[in-house]
């Protein structure tokens, strides 16, 4: 793709470094900005740079935060003894949106993945183990995705903390609410039979 303008070319090249955005899409976005008022491009650029420069990570749970301790960890109404371990910030947002969890989080920053060169030391596992060791943690809930990497990470953390008096649990896997059984995959359906729960608990 040849550009008649170096300015466009540079903007497209930078845009195309974002994941899932190829050079064609980047060009479409850049040409769109060209048709919009100058302010839109300024606001976008300022918001991105400000976000990148000023964002902090909660020193306790590693969630993104505008302060040194995030709103969730700082909230006295949240149960500090129940920690939900998640992969990244989007998982925190997804669980928060359900309104069903009143504990706090621990954001790992990824999963152990030898294929992608991610080892335990690149994640915030050590800080989670310290928390379990030093504080009054009653329960650790694993909420990683159920892939090989997720299972490996769960197991690695489990080994590190099993010597302490802490309960461990994992979020329920099963048929999604409203889904038809006939279209469910075998693994999920099989697991939902094996890990069946007392009917009374669904009536709460």
CB of 198 to its own copies, least distance (A): 33
| Cα–Cα distance for residue pair 200/204, rounded to 1 Å | 7
Q: Which is nearer to its own copies, 66 or 130 (CB)?
A: 66
Q: Which is nearer to its own copies, 70 or 161 (CB)?
A: 70
| Cα–Cα distance for residue pair 138/84, rounded to 1 Å | 11
Instruction: Give, in order, the Cα–Cα distances in Å from 79 to each of 46, 76, 84, 88, 130.
Output: 37, 8, 11, 20, 18
**What does the block give as tokens for 57?**
């990570």
CB of 62 to its own copies, least distance (A): 12
- Restricting to residues 52-91, which ones interact with its own copies according to CB under 8 A? 52-55, 63-66, 70-72, 88-90
CB of 104 to its own copies, least distance (A): 12
- Restricting to residues 15-44, which ones interact with its own copies according to CB under 8 A? 15, 17-21, 25, 27-34, 38, 40-44
- Restricting to residues 137-196, which ones interact with its own copies according to CB under 8 A? none
Chain centroid, CA 136 distance in Å:
24
Q: Which is nearer to its own copies, 74 or 175 (CB)?
A: 74
Q: Which is nearer to its own copies, 14 or 179 (CB)?
A: 14
Report the Cα–Cα distance between both ends of the chain, in Å, rounded.
61
Secondary structure (3-state) at 57: strand
SS3 content of the chain, % helix, strand, coil (to 5): 50, 15, 35
H helices of 55-134, in order, are 71-74, 89-98, 125-134
Q: Which is nearer to its own copies, 86 or 132 (CB)?
A: 86
CB of 53 to its own copies, least distance (A): 7
Q: Which residues bind its own copies (CB under 8 A)?
A: 1-8, 10-11, 13-15, 17-21, 25, 27-34, 38, 40-55, 63-66, 70-72, 88-90, 92-93, 96-97
């Amino acid at each position: 793709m040849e550009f008649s303008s170096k300015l466009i070319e540079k903007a497209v090249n930078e845009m195309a470094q974002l994941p899932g955005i190829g050079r064609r899409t980047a060009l479409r976005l850049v040409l769109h900005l060209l048709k919009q008022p100058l302010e839109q491009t300024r606001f976008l650029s300022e918001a991105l740079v400000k976000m990148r420069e000023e964002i902090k990570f909660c020193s306790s749970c590693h969630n993104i935060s505008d302060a040194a301790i995030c709103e969730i960890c700082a909230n006295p109404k949240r149960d500090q003894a129940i920690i939900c371990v998640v992969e990244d910030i989007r998982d925190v947002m997804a669980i928060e949106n359900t309104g069903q969890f009143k504990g706090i989080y621990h954001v790992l920053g990824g999963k152990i993945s030898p294929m992608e060169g991610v080892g335990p030391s690149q994640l915030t596992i050590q800080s989670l183990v310290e928390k379990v060791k030093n504080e009054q943690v009653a329960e650790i809930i694993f909420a990683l995705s159920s892939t090989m990497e997720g299972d490996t990470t769960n197991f690695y953390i489990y080994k590190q903390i099993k010597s302490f008096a802490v309960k461990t649990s994992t979020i329920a896997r099963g048929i999604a609410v409203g889904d038809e059984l006939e279209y469910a995959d075998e693994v999920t359906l099989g697991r939902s039979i094996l890990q069946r729960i007392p009917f009374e608990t669904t009536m709460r």
